[in-house]
Amino acid sequence: MQTPQTSFIRAFKDNYIWTLSSGPQTVVVDPGDAKPVLNWLKQNKRKLAGILLTHKHNDHTGGVAGLLAKFSVPVYGGANERIDSVTQPVAGGDTITLDALGGLEISVLDVPGHTLGHVAYYVPSQKWLFCGDLLFGAGCGRIFEGTAAQMYDSLQKIAALPDDTLIFCGHEYTLPNLKFAAAVEPENPAIEARVKESLAKRQKYLPTLPSTLAEEKATNPFLRADQETVMERMVALGRTADKTPLGAFTAVRTWKDDFVG
């Protein structure tokens, strides 16, 4: 089997449509727009072999119809998310085998919170995680449909993956998220270091992603709610009286919702 490769296609203001390829065959994750995908396939002489959807929001699914008009391919998506275009509903614990990509296996994780039927796709052989709007560089998705407890549990599933897992998020939000991370943890030197690194990448118009899980665990306040310093600070700031990881997580998420950097 050829080693699979990943790349990215920019869409809208800050979306990334991630690609998985083996030879000429390509599977795309969350095509919010068809046009940039069709252009990319043409430029790179690739054929579309499938579509993976993490959740139903239009900036992640809006390009599916346009792609299906040109390619007849399977569309994978969360069974609980009820996306009309999905032909292969999947749920946590399922393994997808992508024959077009040399039998590449993908594990499905149920990660409700941002939406109730949100799923993430993990490629164990490469340690790649395609997580849509669950996790961002130094941040996490807004809780539109689930509860803070559901979002927290979903993030714990990600935290349990190997530390060198590469995290492919749906949006380029890392720098503004780091501003918030620094407000949560002003004393954390890893955040400052990541700001410098990310600024250097953005100045060259490069993505700050994928990140590694280790990097997120060191800088992402939503994966650090179990840290004594974070729990203490949320209580000290009067944002919660509940000095537990879930209490701190809920307080951090609520703070971020109206944080102006």
Residues that bind Zn ion (CB under 5 A): 57, 133
Q: Least distance in Å: CB of 80 to Zn ion? A: 15
Instruction: Supply the minimum distance, in Å, between the C-beta of residue 239 and Zn ion.
Output: 25
Q: Is 118 in the active site?
A: no
Find the shortest distance in angstroms from Cβ 2 to Zn ion. 32
Catalytic residue among 59, 94, 153, 226: 59
End-to-end CA distance of the chain: give it in Å, rounded.
47
- For Zn ion, the closer of residues 53 and 248 by Cβ is 53
Residue placing its CB nearer to Zn ion in the complex, 133 or 216: 133
CA distances from 246 to 92, 134, 136, 150, 252 (A): 22, 17, 19, 10, 10
Residue 57 annotated in active site: yes
Q: How far is the CB of 60 from Zn ion (least distance, A)?
A: 6
* HSE-CB of 60 using CA atoms within 13 angstroms: 27
User: 34 has which bridge partners?
Assistant: none
- Residue 52, classed as helix, strand or coil, is strand
d(CA 250, CA 242): 10
> Within 13 Å of residue 163, how many CA atoms lie on the same side as its CB?
4
List the catalytic residue out of 30, 60, 110, 118: 60
**Residue 10, Cβ neighbours under 10 Å: how many?**
15
Indicate if 171 belongs to the active site.
Answer: yes
Query: Looking at 30, 110, 118, 171, which residue is catalytic?
Result: 171
CA 115, chain centre distance (Å): 13
By beta-carbon proximity to Zn ion, the closer residue of 24 and 144 is 144
User: Distances in Å between the alpha carbon of 181 and those of 14, 95, 153, 225, 260?
Assistant: 20, 34, 20, 11, 12
Catalytic residue among 30, 33, 114, 118: 114
Name which of 46 and 57 has its Cβ closer to Zn ion.
57
What Rg value do the Cα atoms of the chain yield, rounded? 18
**Which of 57, 194 has the CB closer to Zn ion?**
57
Quote the least distance from Cβ 84 to Zn ion, whole Å: 17
- Catalytic residue, chosen from 30, 33, 57, 118, is 57
Which active-site residues does the annotation give? 55, 57, 59-60, 114, 133, 171
